[in-house]
Amino acid sequence: MRKRFLAPFVLSALFFAACGGGQNSNSEQQANNSTSGTEGAAVDTSMVSPGANAPVAKGKTLIDDQDCKTCHKEDVKLVGPAYKDVAAKYTADEATIDKLADKVINGGSGNWGDVAMLPHPSLAKEDAKEMVTYILSLK
């Protein structure tokens, strides 16, 4: 009876061992060929160094880590306004970013209807600014 259950596992292990190793796949060979001997070629480092969009990317990550998506979406109004509607209403200057960051931390109501935005007191002011900068970049 043990052999009946052992045989499928042994065959599966042999199958997976036979599938791996050996030759490089075609895409791996092309990647190896393209990196060797191209000292003067331009290299795309957009994934390595974020550059000028660093606050925007960080703001999106911070929003994804919070509970924002419960009430907001990028294009569609849910409980709160869509991010693109917020971006259309406000300018992306330092005073506005500061004011909206305070609104994210302290919560409030009245600007977009009767439903109040919940406060986020544990959120750091700089993180809130990064989030607002991302939202205002969606124009």
Q: Which residues are annotated as a binding site for heme c?
A: 68, 72, 117
First to last CA, the chain: 67
Beta bridge partners, 108, equal: 117
Binding-site positions: 68, 72, 117
| Cβ-contact 132, 101 below 8 angstroms | yes
Helices 54-65, 125-136: inter-axial angle, 10-degree rounding: 110
Beta bridge partners, 117, equal: 108
